[in-house]
Structure 1
Amino acid sequence: MEEFASDTDSDYASYWRDWFISSKGNEYFCEIDEDYLTDRFNLTGLNTEVHYYQHALDLVTDVFDMEVDDDMREQIERSARHLYGLVHARYIVSTRGLAKMMDKYKSSTFGKCPRVICDAQPLVPAGLHDTPSHSHVKLFCPKCEDLYNPKSSRHNSIDGAYFGTSFHNILFQVYPSLVPEKTQRRYEPRLYGFRVHASAALMRWQEERREEMKERLRGQGLETGFEVEEEGEEEEEEEEGEGEEEGLDDMFELGGGAVGQGVVQ
């Protein structure tokens, strides 16, 4: 950073913002518009959250012109990063910020869901707390509606407050076309073709609850949000289920002995 201290204040600060966004580990952040940073209304209350607030703000907003030693510069630099993160959480729920984050979401900048059945669904960053230093950023999958840790240690160290608890929900409220259809496919553990008993019972319960929810939604004239199943797939599943029941009946009729409890249905 020192080699740029001799440049003009404008060039120095502009370089800092560009450098921050382009640095490894900061890919989740979008660039905050300068007019948003210079509007003091958007910074309300942050002066109590950031050490050396005014110096950090001067660095980020292109008016820093003080001669300071290396230790002081490092502290101001750290405060500037923290300030940028806190402002970022506010900016990404604005119209312009949502549009920028939507572009990152579409390009899978935040990664893809590791769940196989989600078919590489793009993720969005989400915080578990709105106050800093409580938890690191997580990644939300809108298809399975679960949270995941970032793969990179650089991303995993980002404070979740820099994205907040509301951003990912607001994004899909403003852009409902981005909400993917919920999948009805489920992995069924099997032993020699027979479903494992404990998992099969849990899956039957989940299927029943899901069907009840879909019926309630249809009764109120609302979309269920689930992808439409093909009739052929439903018939195939029914035939498969009948075949399993017949196979079990044959086993008991032939006197094959007791089936291991808790293994097959």
Structure 2
Amino acid sequence: MDDFNSETDSDYTSYWRDWFISSRGNEYFCEIDEEYLTDRFNLTGLSTEVQYYQYALDLVTDVFDLDCDDDMRETIEKSARHLYGLVHARYIVTTRGLAKMLDKYKKNDFGKCPRVMCKSQPLLPMGQSDNPNIKAVKLYCSKCEDIYNPKSSRHAAIDGAYFGTSFHNILFQVYPALMPAKSYERYSPRIYGFKVHAPAALIRWQNGQREDMRRRLRHLKVDSGFVDDERDELDTEYEEDFEPEGVANGSVAGGPVNGMA
């Protein structure tokens, strides 16, 4: 009978976490061990970060027995999801957490790099801030060492703090054999099979930057000291339109201009 009760309690306490992990949009999360959740040391400092902290913790560990209305229940449920996310960021840098996230990484649960040259390299979730409500989760590619937005809007709404800024780097420190070779291959622009000359692209970029600077300076009415080609051309066209006929021919009233015959 004791064994039966123990097994039943174990199944019951894992219910909320099973539901959370299996919910659509939560595929990036792994299941946190019950022993980790019930160790108060692992939850240090979270009581000030989560509203109705104790009720939320009771809900996550399935010992919640408060009789409340639907609105209160929804608020506690939201706090429970937030608490699970914050604990999750701590758990996935432990030995057990890294092993669980590694399994998901090998199964491509986080997606593949959209960059063609990376050849479907698996991605890892990461945060750009360890503080919640600042940046959404991003996906890191260890081959091109760049980050990408999740494809699904459900995943894009996940807080990046639930994974932290260090997890993806710690994973490759613990499992260095998984670190792929860096991608040095780059797309080379070509026209009819010939590479586009690099200085030509550089000159186009420089011209664009120069024209943008001139427009901004003219808007601010700042004397830049640059020769304004566009304004010079307009002035030249204006002078030609109103130039006396004799001057246009190089003379004034039949005589040479500036010594020109």
Say whether the 8 Å CA contact 1:28–1:109 is kept in structure 2: yes
Per the alignment, residue 128 of structure 2 pairs with 128
Q: In terms of Rg, which structure is larger?
A: 2
The alignment partner of 1:131 has SS state of coil
CA deviations on 1:159-208 (whole Å, 9 max, x unpaired) are 00000000000000000011001133221101122212248978xxxxxx
1:55-204 correspondence to structure 2 within 5 Å: 55-198=55-198
1:37 aligns with 2:72: no
Quote the Cα distance in structure 2 between the aligned partners of 1:70 and 1:116.
48
Say whether the 8 Å CA contact 2:16–2:61 is kept in structure 1: no
CA deviations on 1:96-134 (whole Å, 9 max, x unpaired) are 000000000001000000000100000000000000000
Quote the Cα distance in structure 1 between the aligned partners of 2:48 and 2:161.
16
The alignment partner of 1:140 has SS state of strand
Quote the Cα distance in structure 2 between the aligned partners of 1:144 and 1:201.
24
- Identity, % of aligned positions: 78
Provide runs of 4+ in structure 1 moved above 3 Å: 8-13, 198-202
Question: What is the CA distance between 1:17 and its match in structure 2?
Answer: 1.2
Size of the aligned set, in residue pairs, is 195
Say whether the 8 Å CA contact 1:10–1:62 is kept in structure 2: no
Say whether the 8 Å CA contact 1:9–1:65 is kept in structure 2: no
Quote the Cα distance in structure 2 between the aligned partners of 1:28 and 1:135.
16
TM-score (normalizing by structure 1)? 0.70
Say whether the 8 Å CA contact 2:16–2:62 is kept in structure 1: no
Per the alignment, residue 15 of structure 2 pairs with 15
Say whether the 8 Å CA contact 1:126–1:163 is kept in structure 2: yes
Quote the Cα distance in structure 2 between the aligned partners of 1:177 and 1:109.
20
Say whether the 8 Å CA contact 1:125–1:168 is kept in structure 2: yes
